Amino acid sequence: MNSPNSPKAVNQNLLGMAWMMLGGAVFSVNFSVIRILSADFHVFEIVFFRNIFGFIVLIPFLMRAGRVELWPKRPVLLTGRAVMQVTGLSLWYFGLTAIPLADATALGLLEPIFAALFAIFFFKEKNSLGRWLVVVLGLVGSLIIVRPGLEEVSLGAVSVVVSAVIWAVYVLNGKVLTRTDSALVVVAYPTALVVPLALIPALFFWQTPSLIDYAWFILAGTLSSIANYALTKAYQVGDVTAVAPIGFTRLIFSAMVGYLVFAEIPVVWVWLGGGLIVVAGTILAHMESKDRA
């Protein structure tokens, strides 16, 4: 086992931080692609095409897997995961179209905070004053961004926060499923189920894409896959305590993309609130790392 300060461990952490920065940058570009698509297409149609192309990417892996590996052990939980995925994506995409990219990104960073809170109740994980203080710190950060009472709370901000809650439950759902099902099953089945779930409401708002639009949809699906892979690699090669704080770069990249593409300038409250959320997430990562040690 390598010492945290050994050259190999340091190099691995630097590599993990680089993967995290790449994921943040790609996610930010993908957010702008989603917003561009939303000018002509409803969020349900965007979710529909995103999952179609996402499932196509999985087909080679499904073909190599055996029947036993692909047989789901908990179909009810997988179906619930698909419902959460289509709902969370729809709310998130709506939020991206309704508020500045930096605001949405900062509020989206609440996901691990909510996950830590729910884990206390659903998994009976360690319930300490420190965990509660971290949750409160994250929520204070979100209030600084939204500023209820001082600013009108937009529907877009509410949808992003609700999507963060859904994604937190989604993460815990995956924690349960991976005890009995393969990672491929946990990813592939909900991705496939989301296609008809999103298609039904999408038909009411359907706009037939052009060839250029399909290129945009393919780009969105590809960027999403790259970003998720980068985040997975970040936590795989580096320590959580070293990698998690770099998640703040996602807010920086989103602010840059928002300014360059949409001429959005984040207000100081977004940086203050987002900073508090990142601090809360970093403290949480340290606490969980100690619990596993």
**Residue 251: is its pLDDT beyond 60?**
yes
**Residue 230: is its pLDDT beyond 50?**
yes
pTM: 0.80
A 10 A CB-CB count for 139 gives 18
Give the residue-averaged pLDDT of 264-279: 81
Q: Which residue has the higher pLDDT, 289 or 113?
A: 113
What CA–CA distance (Å, rounded) separates 209 from 57?
20
pLDDT band at 241 (very low <50, low <70, confident <90, very high): low
- Classify residue 162 as exposed, middle or buried by CB count within 10 Å of its CB (0-12, 13-18, 19+): middle
Instruction: Give the pLDDT confidence of 44-60 residue by residue, as tens digits.
Output: 999 999 889 888 888 88
SS3 label, residue 148: strand
pLDDT band at 1 (very low <50, low <70, confident <90, very high): very low
Q: What whole-number percentage of the chain has pLDDT above 70? A: 86
CA-based Rg of the chain, rounded to a whole angstrom? 19
pLDDT computed for residue 210 by the predictor: 94
What CA–CA distance (Å, rounded) separates 49 from 255?
26
Kindly report which listed range (147-151, 162-166, 194-198, 204-208) carries the lowest average pLDDT score.
147-151
Give the residue-averaged pLDDT of 164-183: 85
Supply 113's token pair.
Answer: 């905070």
pLDDT band at 126 (very low <50, low <70, confident <90, very high): low
- Classify residue 160 as exposed, middle or buried by CB count within 10 Å of its CB (0-12, 13-18, 19+): buried
**Long-range contacts from 124-129, C-beta under 8 angstroms, 24+ separation:** 126/291, 128/287
Q: What whole-number percentage of the chain has pLDDT above 90? A: 26
pLDDT band at 292 (very low <50, low <70, confident <90, very high): low
What CA–CA distance (Å, rounded) separates 138 from 115?
12
Give the residue-averaged pLDDT of 271-280: 81
Instruction: Give the pLDDT confidence of 89-108 residue by residue, as tens digits.
Output: 999 999 988 888 888 888 88
pLDDT band at 288 (very low <50, low <70, confident <90, very high): low
DSSP string, 75-93: HHHHHHHHHHHHHHHHHHH
**Residue 116: is its pLDDT beyond 50?**
yes
Strand-pairing partners, residue 151, are: 148
pLDDT band at 150 (very low <50, low <70, confident <90, very high): low
